[in-house]
Amino acid sequence: MRSAMPLALRDVAALTQSQRAAAARVLRDALAHLPSGFRGPDEAEAEVDALCNDPQWLGFAAMDQEQLVGWIGALRTYSHGWELHPLVVDPGRQRRGVGSALLAHLEARARAEGVITLYLGTDDDYGGTNLFGRDLFPNLLGHAAAVEPAGPGHAFTFYRRHGYQVVGLLPDVNGPGRPDILMAKRLADGETTGRRRP
């Protein structure tokens, strides 16, 4: 087995064309198990190009020497809040700390730019949580408070482990019984935000 090399984190804007192609491959492969994954010809490539050309988006790639093994990005959606989109890791490198390193790097950058809240949506369009296949109305907030993984592998579990909390649900946005789970994390303490904690 090859010894573990430290990962280098690089700004996505500095990637070569072949590394951007690798980013598209990682995007496609990491989400291949999802119905909403990038399956069509050039879909993943178009997503990478669209993000890289969006002036409100920034991203970072995890490099093992010159091989791209994962990447993360965020949209600057509010003056003090960013939307994490996406976080993907090559399936052969998952559960080895790549995603955690990328997330920590993005959170540090967001804090440095004065971001208070980082948020995301994690779809359940395949049965990864106890919300899949259920009618979430009329007790939407009750379901949000009780969401749990239905097995290993849903991104919800990763984000919860890193301090993200469920802040809402978008029922049926991926089809009947297929919600988007909204999660967020406060990056600054109450004193930094100018508000007292209760």
Kindly provide the residue ranges of all beta strands, DSSP E only, lying in 51-152, ordered along the sequence: 57-64, 67-75, 81-89, 117-123
> What single-letter DSSP state applies at residue 141?
H
Amino acid 5: pLDDT = 60
Q: What is the pLDDT of residues 127-159, one digit of tens each?
A: 999 999 999 999 999 999 999 999 888 999 999
Cβ–Cβ < 8 Å for 180, 173 = yes
pLDDT at 2: 41
Q: What burial class does residue 21 get, using C-beta atoms within 10 Å of its C-beta: 0-12 exposed, 13-18 middle, 19+ buried?
A: middle
Q: How far apart are the first and last CA of the chain?
A: 51
What structural domains and CATH numbers belong to the chain?
1-89 (3.40.630.30), 116-198 (3.40.630.30)
pLDDT of residue 193: 53
What whole-number distance in Å separates Cα of residue 108 and Cα of residue 178?
32
Q: Which portions of the chain are predicted below pLDDT 70?
A: 1-5, 190-198
Assessment of whether the complete model's pTM goes beyond 0.85: yes
